[in-house]
Amino acid sequence: MGKPTGFLEFERIEEHHLSVKDRIKNYNEFTATLTDDEASIQAARCMDCGIPFCSNSCPVHNVIPDFNDLVYQGEYEKAIKVLHSASNFPEFTGRVCPALCEASCSCRLNGKSVGIRSIERKIIDRAWDHGLVRPVIAKVKTGKSVAVVGSGPSGLACAQQLARAGHTVTVYEKNSHIGGLLRFGIPDFKLPKSLIDRRIDQMEAEGVTFLTNTLIADSKDLPHGVCNDATKVIAPKELLQKYDAVVMCGGSETPRDLNVPGRELKNVHFALEFLIGQNKEVNGGRKNPINTKGKHVIVIGGGDTGADCVGTATRQGAASVTQIELFPRPPLEEEIDILTTWPNWPIMFRTYTSHEEGSETGKLERLYALNTKELIGGDNGEVKKIKLMQIEIKEGRPVDIPGTEVELPADFVFIATGFVHPLDKVLASFGVEKDMRGNVKANPDITADCAFKTSVDKLFAAGDMRSGQSLVVRAMSEGRRCAHAVDAYLMGSSLLPIC
């Protein structure tokens, strides 16, 4: 424990942000890594609890009290070893993780939690700056080969672990660039893509081969709204014949649609159509075909994806952005009795940086308890208005309140209501059994003999494709654990970590 009285002496430190006025001028990252002094103070607040609830809540079980102590001591070389022992890509989670760990920090019981995510980011950013992140090349090759389908956080973590265990790993990706939703979903202002590129360089040096624009399925066509840059199609059967094991890490790509009259109107899009277009433009691709400058934008859905649409529309110069959520506004942090939720993740009202931007520019309105009833079109077939009705919750379900209809102007509508399951077509091509929710059926219990195995011989599944839509850190955890299971399947046992 760094400083026994640290939590009494120091307040939590927030990372510095560029002002809203400056940051909405472009898509650059606007949050700064803590300085050495700030990180030392932040880490000094850790109480090194007998039971580290923080570590338990973190899906990769980061060894948080240990790295906090090392940061307090200024021992960054040791801190990065501790951090990398549990996590392949802390620079991603150090930026976009909702910090499940911080909800269970003991300091939160009568004050503010330790800023764990900011310490994680500090350690990894400093490690990259000081040349401490190097390829870890397997000393012995096993002669076994593995194909990983999909290059999001689960596929990347799985591939890196397997390559370090000595297997020859090839990652297949249907899109033009590696990274899954890290690359084309999450905007640059939250996660600069150069961070993915340098990890790809590291993984290539470790022996991983990346093949982009390559769809693994029986044919090329995928449903509307799904990003598909494939110029080549390989049948799953071919992959299963060629490799000793295949891992499906294809994410949960079927968007939940909005089944209301007017859904077919022009300028009504799935959120990812808007975000992918912008991510491609920012990274030197063609201009985003969806331009909201000077327009009234409606975002349906209150989660991460919706917030990313708000931030992107604000940067494009939308006239107004209205974010609509079906359920009533959750309680504010101060309205929650901490003792009834801690150490669990509390359901509460959250304000993301994109919301701060919308509020400060006076362009954002966040509306709750509203059900979308209809999209109303203009003369040229584009959307012009959205009709909403208030709801109340009865027996846990939203119920419309008659006579409460309202209409709002809408030049663009983005549907950000989540993802229901992986692409049926891809799962059918592999011939895998599905679970009740339409995800790939596989047991994530790493102690079971069948861990992460699908119903098809030699075929494993991990990440959102197995669990349903989730978080970067959970996908990474699945990828790591699945790598252990694949290694054990190929070699009889595995020394790869199980968390």
The residue ranges that bind ligand FAD (CB under 6 A) are: 96-97, 149-155, 172-175, 180-182, 185-186, 215-217, 249-251, 272, 275, 304-305, 308, 426, 463-465, 469-473, 475
159 binds ligand SF4 (CB under 6 A): no
147 binds ligand SF4 (CB under 6 A): no
Cβ contact 207:163 at 8 Å: yes
62 binds ligand SF4 (CB under 6 A): yes
82 binds ligand SF4 (CB under 6 A): no
Q: How far is CA 335 from CA 331, 349, 404, 448, in A?
A: 6, 10, 28, 42
Residue 79 to residue 69: CA distance in whole angstroms: 9
Distance of closest approach, residue 263 Cβ to ligand FAD, in angstroms:
20
Residue matched to tokens 């022996």: 207
116 binds ligand SF4 (CB under 6 A): yes
Measured over the CA atoms of residue 432, residue 436, residue 439 and residue 443, the dihedral's sign is negative
Distance of closest approach, residue 321 Cβ to ligand FAD, in angstroms:
16
Q: Which of 61, 71, 6, 3 is nearest to 37 (CA)?
A: 71
Nearer to ligand FAD by Cβ, of 2 and 306: the residue is 306
Binding partner of residue 155 among ligand FAD, ligand SF4, none, CB cut-off 5 to 8 Å per kind: ligand FAD
Cβ contact 63:48 at 8 Å: no
Give SS3 for 361. coil
Residue 35 to residue 365: CA distance in whole angstroms: 35
Over the window 444 to 483, marking each residue x when it contacts ligand SF4 by CB under 6 A and - when it does not, the resulting string is -----------------------------x----------
Nearer to ligand SF4 by Cβ, of 99 and 483: the residue is 99
Which stretches within 74-115 are classed as H helix? Answer: 76-86, 90-96, 100-103
Distance of closest approach, residue 41 Cβ to ligand SF4, in angstroms:
18
Residue 119 to residue 34: CA distance in whole angstroms: 8
Residue 433 to residue 318: CA distance in whole angstroms: 44
Binding partner of residue 70 among ligand SF4, ligand FAD, none, CB cut-off 5 to 8 Å per kind: none
68 binds ligand SF4 (CB under 6 A): no
- Binders of ligand SF4 among residues 96 to 115 (CB under 6 A) are 97, 99-101
Measured over the CA atoms of residue 160, residue 162, residue 166 and residue 170, the dihedral's sign is negative
Which residues would be at the binding site for ligand SF4 (CB under 6 A)? Answer: 58, 60, 62, 64, 93, 97, 99-101, 116-117, 120, 473
